[in-house]
Copies of this chain bind each other. A is one copy, B any other.
Amino acid sequence: MQINVGYELNYAFPQPTPVILNLHVHHSRASDLARPDLMRTTPAVRTAAYRDGFGNWCTRLIAPPGAFRVTGDAIVNDSGAPDVVSASAIQHVVPELPEETLVFLLGSRYCETDRLSEIAWGLFSSAPFGWGRVQAICDFVHAHIQFGYQYASPTKTAWDVYNERRGVCRDFAHLAIALCRCMNIPARYCTGYLGDIGRPKDPSPMDFAGWFEAYLGGAWHTFDPRNHVPRIGRVLIARGRDAADVAIATTFGPNKLQSFRVWTDELGA
């Protein structure tokens, strides 16, 4: 299967503004790119690439004053297989976790483990150890939160969404991540493309998707408490402790995002 993914962001900047972008298909999928995943800007500016501490390839540029467009379009080869369910994946006790997973047990901007710890233990201490426990967390989050684009907020945290019970996909992910970490299961945030391949057409405008990965049985596994069914055609962009680390665009100055478009379509479908 081939998937056409892409984005177009239209900004207005009052002054020259440094920007960091997380918009490339993740390096782990580089070999699936049927054509190079180039980023283009109008007006054209020089870009520089660097790898952040999580291994994501980020782009730095200086946006000139005025209208500024960033766009990219890629074709990604995909197995067409749905998210893998590994129901027998075990949970590692903390002393056996690899060192590189430990930072994904700590609190972070949008995942206040300190505030949610008692709640988590109250809800999940009798859930089965391992995959079943992460599944129980996803079941809870999916049932607890009402989805709605209008509930999106850049400052909304796991604690906030736990209390308000309304949010978007990133809020589902943040709450599930925080609850996993409270239960001593390393969890990290993922952002990327997720279309409605193999499903009824979704009439709402597309956005980037947020989901998460949990560390079980010696590997990281995909979970998506918003959609809550294995999905086809997930294309990763970046991973981090939470959405603060993998913002699509971090702008260092005032600006207006005037329009915004994302696409994820099966080619030939």
Instruction: Among B58, B95, B154, B218, point to the contact of A62 (Cβ < 8 A).
Output: B95
- Interface flags, A42-63, vs B, CB<8A=1, else 0: 1111111111110101111010
Which B residues are in CB contact (< 8 Å) with A39? 27, 30-31, 35
With contacts A39-B27, A60-B95 taken as known, whether A34 is within 8 angstroms of B18 at the C-beta atoms is: no
Instruction: Among B57, B62, B250, point to the contact of A51 (Cβ < 8 A).
Output: B57
A36 at interface (Cβ–Cβ under 8 A)? yes
A107 at interface (Cβ–Cβ under 8 A)? yes
B41 near A31 (CB under 8 angstroms)?
yes
A4 at interface (Cβ–Cβ under 8 A)? no
- Interface flags, A1-42, vs B, CB<8A=1, else 0: 000000000000000001010001001111111111111111
Choose, from A109-117, A140-148, A166-174, the stretch at the interface: A109-117
Q: How large is the interface on A (under 10, 10 to 19, 20 to 34, 35 or more residues)?
A: 35 or more
A84 at interface (Cβ–Cβ under 8 A)? no
Instruction: Among B42, B92, B93, point to the contact of A31 (Cβ < 8 A).
Output: B42
With contacts A62-B95, A107-B244, A115-B155 taken as known, whether A48 is within 8 angstroms of B34 at the C-beta atoms is: yes
Instruction: Among B28, B37, B109, B112, point to the contact of A46 (Cβ < 8 A).
Output: B28
A34 near B55 (CB under 8 angstroms)?
no
- Interface flags, A188-219, vs B, CB<8A=1, else 0: 00000000000000000000000000000011
A151 at interface (Cβ–Cβ under 8 A)? no
A102 near B34 (CB under 8 angstroms)?
no
A184 at interface (Cβ–Cβ under 8 A)? yes
Give chain A interface residues in 71-124, CB to chain B under 8 Å.
77, 92-96, 98-100, 102-103, 105-109, 111-112, 114-115
Which B residues are in CB contact (< 8 Å) with A46? 28-29, 31, 34
Which B residues are in CB contact (< 8 Å) with A53? 53, 100, 103
| Assembly CA distance A30 to B27 (angstroms) | 15
| Apart from the given pairs A34-B46, A106-B244, 20 other A-B contacts in the complex at a CB distance below 8 Å | A18-B93, A18-B95, A18-B184, A20-B102, A29-B46, A30-B99, A31-B47, A31-B99, A33-B49, A33-B50, A36-B57, A36-B59, A60-B95, A99-B99, A106-B109, A107-B244, A108-B108, A109-B112, A114-B154, A114-B155
A-side residues, CB < 8 A to B, are: 18, 20, 24, 27-53, 55, 57-60, 62, 77, 92-96, 98-100, 102-103, 105-109, 111-112, 114-115, 154-155, 184, 218-219, 244-245, 250, 252
Shortest 5 CB-CB contacts between residues of A and residues of B: A98-B98, A18-B94, A31-B44, A36-B57, A30-B50
